[in-house]
Structure 1
Amino acid sequence: MEKRDKILASVTIVVTLVFILFFGLTAKKDNSRNNYEDSSKISVEKNSEDDSDNGYSKSESMMSSVSSSEVSSSSTDSISYEEKVNKLSYGTVQSAKYNKDTNTLTYTGFEVWSDYSNDDLQHAMDILETIANKQAVHYGMHNPAIDVVLPNGKLIASSNGKDDIEFVE
């Protein structure tokens, strides 16, 4: 009976993740188009304002606005990345935290995972890795390392960002 409950829970998680991934990626794609159009309008308006008699050439003004937007965009993108990963992994893990300084995404799983075998958790790890990597592309993160920990902080799996998630023995 207990094994059947674990299997049912795993299947439920997988179905939920597939549903969330499908609709989350579709919404992100539509949203990113709107954000791009909005940011293009703002950039054009900003550059027009900056070109008034302020002593800077048009190219200097454009370079200045690009570099400042890249800095704020990086910070905003890392926050947006963490938020999106949390939304997509809801129900699969307790939370996800992204550290932009170390380019590491840390998933905090459930205590019950300590009772599961690595084979039982492998599919969940594959899904978490897929969520992390697909969203990283959308938000400009490059090959984030992934750590999966239990609520007590014990590391159970990790990836350096270039290889698949592997369980820690």
Structure 2
Amino acid sequence: MSVTHNTTIIVYRFTETLAEEYSWKPQAAAAASFLKWSAIILLPIVGVLILMDPSLVIAGIGPLGMGLMAGMMGSQQAKQSNSRHHPLDWRDTDKIYLYPGRDIIGLNIPWYHPDAHEVEPDGIREVYCRKGEREEVLNFFKVRLPNVEIVEEKFLL
């Protein structure tokens, strides 16, 4: 599932001083549930087949393997360690980018790079908007950041 259906859920919370981005990928939990319940359903069926013909004992590898894989995927709490939480002070924005043709707004916020021990001038944080809500989100920033330049151009995602 993670190869063909790679989805990330992103949630934003804006206050007067802080923006928080919290994101996670829900596929691992869905795959673990699918494997667990498939093993639970198939194991009794394979057990009945083995009672009818003991040479089918090799068929038990399938449900046992699926149950083992579900167990190895770990608990839901372990999966939440893959989530990301990024708080940032959006009032430091010095330029707002509008990605043409997409519902994405970029906030250029200078940030401190701990490895280089200096402030990086370019740090574009993407704000993904629901379809048709880009103007509403842009107005939120226009009102609160009246002196910031707004540019419509592509930026790296």
Largest Rg, 1 or 2? 2
TM (norm. structure 1) is 0.25
Which structure's residues are more often helix, by fraction?
1
